[in-house]
């Protein structure tokens, strides 16, 4: 197993973090579009991603209409128009900001959960993503791959039971009134499929994520800290704000 360093970038505020992360994602997409004429992007949907996505949406000289977008997880059992649904969140906080039409493949959670996971695996296909835009949960989950996560899952997408830490995070962030209101199941893209990407840009602001960031950076890959799987990828740039930063490490600014 070959391990790679995670390149840490520390910025003072979430806005500065998002500006830097979004600028890197935009440049990587310019390079992919120049080389191939098209690109594929895997998106996370969460408030932690808002500043990064806003920066990407505003990028100059970037034809996002030539990009095919996917997203990494969504709840099972919510009404299709629920604002908490991650596909709807991305529509409201990213795609609505774009000047023209784009291609966005949503996880079909209106189907039976197992069918939705299998169908989304087929939709993603086997081609790598050019850019993975991700975050970390308070338990260091990647997508909804909660600990103990399968770092070698042969499936591309699966149905999962959400652990209480993930569900509490959704309530604490104000998406649901209580933990009991958070769905217990979701469809998630697996860690190996997420990491089948040319580049990874990870945006993690907030003091509540500091432990997840510290453990991800300190530990070798372990199912108990899913974020450590990022060390299996050769090009990961982790952007954090001062509140999430572990000590004095990394490139500040």
Give tens-digit pLDDT for 24-51: 999 999 999 999 999 999 999 999 999 9
Beta bridge partners of 103: 68
d(CA 241, CA 85): 26
pLDDT of residue 173: 84
d(CA 149, CA 168): 18
d(CA 237, CA 12): 17
> Topology of 6-252 in CATH?
Rossmann fold (3.40.50)
**Percentages (nearest 5) of helix, strand, coil residues in the chain:** 40, 25, 40
Compare 4 and 170 and report the one with higher pLDDT: 4
Residue 23 pLDDT exceeds 70: yes
pLDDT of residue 17: 98
Q: Which of 191, 203, 204, 209 is nearest to 138 (CA)?
A: 209
Is 195 in contact with 123 (CB distance < 8 Å)? no
Joined together, the tokens standing for residue 239 give 């952007």
pLDDT of residue 251: 43
Using CB atoms within 10 Å of the CB of residue 187, give its burial: 0 to 12 exposed, 13 to 18 middle, 19+ buried: buried
**b/e sequence 101-111, b meaning 16+ C-beta within 10 Å:** ebebebbbbee
**pTM, 2 dp:** 0.94
d(CA 64, CA 61): 9
Residue 248 pLDDT exceeds 70: no
Residue 249 pLDDT exceeds 50: no
**Residues 176-224 pLDDT 10s:** 999 998 999 999 999 999 999 999 999 999 999 999 999 999 999 999 9
Residue 252 banded pLDDT, cuts 50, 70, 90: very low
Domain boundaries, the chain: 6-252
pLDDT of residue 253: 37
**Residues 117-173 pLDDT 10s:** 999 999 999 999 999 999 999 999 999 999 999 999 999 999 999 999 889 888 888
**Residues 57-116 pLDDT 10s:** 999 999 999 999 999 999 999 998 999 999 999 999 999 999 899 999 999 999 999 999
pLDDT of residue 175: 86
Which letter does DSSP use for residue 162 in this model?
A: P
């Amino acid at each position: 197993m070959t391990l790679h360093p995670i390149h840490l970038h520390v910025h003072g505020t979430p806005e500065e973090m998002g500006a830097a992360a979004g600028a890197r994602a935009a440049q990587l997409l310019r390079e992919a579009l120049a080389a191939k004429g098209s690109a594929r992007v895997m998106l996370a949907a969460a408030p932690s991603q808002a500043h990064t996505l806003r920066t990407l949406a505003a990028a100059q000289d970037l034809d996002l209409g030539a990009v095919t977008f996917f997203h990494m997880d969504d709840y099972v059992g919510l009404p299709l128009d629920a604002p908490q649904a991650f596909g709807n969140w991305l529509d409201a906080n990213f795609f609505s900001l774009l000047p023209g039409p784009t291609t966005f493949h949503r996880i079909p959670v209106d189907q039976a959960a197992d069918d939705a996971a299998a169908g989304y695996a087929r939709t993603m296909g086997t081609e790598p993503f050019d850019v993975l835009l991700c975050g970390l949960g308070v338990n260091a989950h990647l997508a909804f791959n909660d600990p103990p996560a399968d770092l070698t899952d042969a499936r591309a997408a699966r149905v999962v039971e959400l652990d209480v830490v993930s569900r509490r995070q959704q309530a604490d962030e104000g998406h649901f009134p209580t933990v009991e209101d958070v769905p217990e199941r979701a469809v998630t893209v697996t860690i190996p499929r997420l990491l089948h990407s040319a580049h990874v840009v990870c945006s993690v602001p907030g003091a509540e994520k500091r432990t997840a960031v510290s453990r991800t950076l300190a530990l070798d890959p372990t199912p108990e800290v899913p974020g450590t799987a990022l060390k299996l990828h050769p090009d990961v740039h982790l952007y954090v704000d001062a509140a999430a930063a572990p000590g004095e490490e990394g490139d500040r600014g």
